[in-house]
Amino acid sequence: GTGAAPAGHPAAPALDGLEHPAVAELVSGPVELVAAVRRLVRDMVVVGTLEDAEDLVAARPELTAVTGEGDVLSAHF
């Protein structure tokens, strides 16, 4: 793909330059499901600690940070 958002859908946040992997990069599975799942997690980033999550969300409030322990942090919750 070109990275462009389909008509009527917001573009994914730019994740270039982040030191943490995007959740969408880690998704694998049946080809007919992968695109939909990646779209659902397009603004989620994996971080090491809750402190890393707090720092990321403070700097990039449009993103949601997820730790390996299962903590989820965003500017909205």
Closest by Cα among 28, 19, 7 to 55: 19
Number of H-type helices and E-type strands within the chain = 2, 3
pLDDT at 18: 74
Q: Please indicate, yes or no, if residue 31 is contained in any of the structural domains.
A: yes
Q: Please indicate, yes or no, if residue 16 is contained in any of the structural domains.
A: no
Q: Please indicate, yes or no, if residue 2 is contained in any of the structural domains.
A: no
Question: What amino acid is encoded at 23 in this protein?
Answer: V
Structural domain count of the chain: 1
Query: In a structure prediction context, what are the per-residue pLDDT tens digits for the chain, which is 77 residues long?
Result: 344 444 444 445 667 667 889 999 999 999 999 999 999 999 999 999 999 999 999 999 999 999 999 999 999 97
Q: Please indicate, yes or no, if residue 68 is contained in any of the structural domains.
A: yes
Domain range for 28: 23-74
